[in-house]
Structure formats: C-alpha cells, structure tokens
C-alpha cells in the first residue's frame, strides 16, 4: 500500500514525561524510523508541537522531514521554512509577561518555542494549575485573532492562528514524495483532532494513540504499541490499516 506516514512525537512515538526535555527515546526507534522511511520511498514525516531543532536533538543523527510548532515551521528534503521568532513581536511580548507572572509558580513551566509558547502545569498543585491556565488564556485573549490557544494534556499552547497539523499534512501531500499517496496520521492529544478530521476528509486514515473521545477511525493503546507496529512495518510486514483496532 502506498501511504504517506505522519507521526506525532510526544505521547505517540515517546511516552509523556513530566517535563518536555525529560522524554526518553527508546533504543532502536531511530533506526526503525529511518528504515521505514526508506520502505515508504521517503514519505515519512514528524508532525509535532515541538520545534524541528528539538526533534533533531532527540533523534540524532536522523534528519527526518518534519513540521514543527504545529506547522509554523516545516522541513522537506533538508530545507526549513517558517518559524522565525522575529516575525511574532506581539507574541514575544506575551512570552515575557508569562515568564514574569509565572515566576511565583515554581512547578509551572513556560516553554518558549520562538514562534509559539506553551505553558505546562503537569507537576503543579491544583491552585497553581488553575492560575497557569488562567495566565495562558489571558495571553491568548490579548493576542487576538492572529493567534489561537490549544489546550492539551496539562498544557496550554499559543500558536499562530493559521498553523495546524492538518494544514501541515496537506502541504506535505502536495509535493513529492507524499503526493498521490494515502495519508496516515498517528497522534495522541486534543491538538491532533483537527488533523485527524482533515486527514479523514482527504481519504486518509487517522489513528488515535491512547484513550479519549476522537474522530479518528483507528486506535492504539499507547506509544509502546505504536513502536511495535512501526518496527513490524519497517521489517517488511504488510501495512494493513484495516486490521488495526477501531477507535
């Protein structure tokens, strides 16, 4: 089957960690991704909320095609476009304000991604969680229609309004080696649901990782199951999407 494979990173390829920098890449995963990309004729890309440079750091020495910051930046065949912090002065002002106001919340993390910002409260108390969510909502409201707030698993992220994983996948599908294939996207969070819907609308297959309501048609229980599946595909086993568990 000629598919174009798109993979979220956190919660899909790797298990969620208390802090973004603490995720662990399982032994063999990088080799699996490189081998599977070769089997797919290059039609494999990461689609993540992280910057492309962070993905590279976790997956070195591989340099896969990738959409970072929910599609704000994109790399195809080694060429990166988008994602310059200097193009977002209003956002930069809000990032500074978030750092200042969150300084009294020691277990709340402000993750500055340059062209987007994420506020994490996974480790915070209930009171600090409520305050952190209020802070990111206030920042998003102050930025207006040019940006949007995405709420995920113990995180709120502000990204440019035009950037979605669905738009990024469609951009990949418009060029070689992705064009003419069937898109398959694996993701795990609320922020992936927009892309699930657009992939399905375009005739592709969306696969939700983990529990929760979803518009995806298929589901895998956890990142370990994803890694097992990708390893099987990389080893040459048939890519039979209809055999995957229904969502």
Could you give the number of structural domains in the chain? 2
Catalytic residue among 2, 8, 192, 222: 8
CATH code of the domain in which 189 resides: 3.40.50.1000
Beta-sheet strand order (sheet of 155-160): 109-112, 117-120, 155-160, 147-152
Q: CB under 8 Å, gap of 24 or more: what pairs does 238-241 form? A: 238/1, 239/1, 239/3, 240/1, 241/1, 241/3, 241/184, 241/205
CATH code of the domain in which 98 resides: 3.30.70.1020
Q: CA gyration radius for the chain? A: 18
The range of the structural domain enclosing residue 145 comes to 85-160
**Residues 214 and 97 grouped into a single domain:** no
pTM equals 0.85
Contact 132, 118 (CB under 8 A): no
pLDDT per residue of the chain (247 residues) written in tens, 0 to 9: 699 999 999 999 999 988 888 999 999 999 999 999 999 999 999 999 999 999 999 999 999 999 999 889 999 998 888 778 888 999 999 999 999 999 999 899 999 988 899 999 999 999 999 999 999 999 999 999 999 998 988 999 999 988 899 999 999 999 999 999 999 999 998 889 999 999 999 999 999 999 999 999 999 999 999 999 999 999 999 999 999 999 9
State how far the Cα of 182 lies from the Cα of 184, in Å rounded to an integer: 7
Which of 160, 184, 211 corresponds to the end of one domain? 160
Does the active-site annotation cover 8?
yes
């Amino acid at each position: 089957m000629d598919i174009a494979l798109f993979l979220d990173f956190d919660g899909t390829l790797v298990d969620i960690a208390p802090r973004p920098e603490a995720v662990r890449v399982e032994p063999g995963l990088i080799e699996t991704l490189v081998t599977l990309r070769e089997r797919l004729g290059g039609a494999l890309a990461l689609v993540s909320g992280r910057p492309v440079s962070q993905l590279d750091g976790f997956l070195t020495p591989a340099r896969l095609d990738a959409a970072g910051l929910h599609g704000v930046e994109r790399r195809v065949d080694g060429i990166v476009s988008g994602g310059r912090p200097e193009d977002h002065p209003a956002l930069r002002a809000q990032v500074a304000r978030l750092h200042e106001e969150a300084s009294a919340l020691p277990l709340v993390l402000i993750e500055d991604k340059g062209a987007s910002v994420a506020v994490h409260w996974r480790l915070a108390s209930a009171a600090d969680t409520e305050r952190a969510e209020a802070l990111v909502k206030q920042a998003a409201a102050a930025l207006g229609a040019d940006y949007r707030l995405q709420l995920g698993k113990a995180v709120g992220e502000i990204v440019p309004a035009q950037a979605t994983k669905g738009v990024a996948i469609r951009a990949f599908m418009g060029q070689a080696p992705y064009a003419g294939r069937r898109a398959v996207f694996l993701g795990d969070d609320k922020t992936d649901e927009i892309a699930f819907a657009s992939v399905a609308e375009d005739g592709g297959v969306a696969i939700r990782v983990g529990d929760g309501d979803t518009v995806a048609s298929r589901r895998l229980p956890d990142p370990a199951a994803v890694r097992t599946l990708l390893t099987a595909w990389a080893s040459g086993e048939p890519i039979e999407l209809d055999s995957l568990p229904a969502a």
